[in-house]
Structure 1
């Protein structure tokens, strides 16, 4: 008896109930595992966003350190600061990129100067003007570079307005100017302050 009801001792029925309860437990466990994975992914995403925001703020500090190392003698104190800063930021996942000789990649590089070389068939980064940084697969800042390569493709004069960024300005110059109105008489002084007319002699 269970709460005044007779227990079901049918083996087939007991097997069915056991199978149902086992499936319920497996479903609950799978749901809990998925929940834990979602929470872990969300925490990692929030952490990566926070780290990326902090690293972006510190990039000007790295630029200042690079300029100082390039123009000042490397003293022991400056070397210690530089090494510590790069080690600590590297432990957070910050990676610098951009070296002379790299193939130009518009997804990672920003060309500031383009030197034309008729013999070249590809754009090559010939000088790094500002180092680029990334955090894993996330680009924090593109590298500013000078590139050397073939000349850019010639513009098509028959193309649309997209190929002529100054078209609107030129059309504005071609519009006729509005007529110029004649200048009004000089009546800047109030009438009460005007000098009385001279009497005729």
Structure 2
């Protein structure tokens, strides 16, 4: 061997041996990053980008989850409201169908024509309708209210009145939970 000696582990020692090259093929100079430092800095930058990307994804998913939660709450409220309205409409429909029966019972009471078993049936029917919120109105002596009464004619009263007053009831009116289903048909006495 000439200028260098052969070392058993495969490295050459002696004059003419050059410094090892970096992966880019250049020799490291003072102040430059070595091969070991570059991947660490690159990995740290890559990790920071990945964390920022994941944080953005978490924010987006959180916003989506909050939006879906709010949509569900609104949907549930809407379904509950629609269910209540459908139930109320069903009750109103059934009670409207019973109005002629209630009118017949009212006429029979006026003529003292209710007795025995029929009286018990009439009382129970009136209890059931009252339980569902049906209110009967329209009595002689009430102050006339155009929102509740339908004036069909003028019928003077024996006593003078100071305000327009119901003097005769032809057909009672019905309210269901504060809403007029049918106005009372009445005769009125004017002051």
The separation in 2 between residues aligned to 1:147 and 1:75, in whole angstroms, is 32
Which residue of 1 is the match for residue 171 of structure 2? 130
Q: Distance in 2 between matches of 1:32 and 1:140?
A: 35
Give the C-alpha shift of residue 10 in structure 1. Answer: 5.5
Cα offsets for 1:65-109 (capped at 9, x unmatched): 112222235434233112210111122221111222222111210
In the alignment, is residue 144 of structure 1 matched against residue 185 of structure 2?
Answer: yes
TM-score by length of 1: 0.61
* Structure 2, unpaired ranges of 5+: 1-45
Which structure 1 residue ranges, 5 or more long, are not aligned?
1-5, 151-201
Instruction: Tell me what 2:58 maps to.
Output: 18
* TM-score, length basis structure 2: 0.64
Residues 8 and 14 of structure 1 are in contact (CA less than 8 Å); yes or no, is this contact kept in structure 2? no
Matches of 1:60 and 1:105, distance apart in 2: 23
Matched residues, number: 144
Structure number with greater Rg is: 2
1:170-198: CA deviations, max 9, x gaps?
Answer: xxxxxxxxxxxxxxxxxxxxxxxxxxxxx
What is the RMSD of the two structures over their aligned residues, measured on CA atoms? 2.6
Aligned match of 2:147:
107
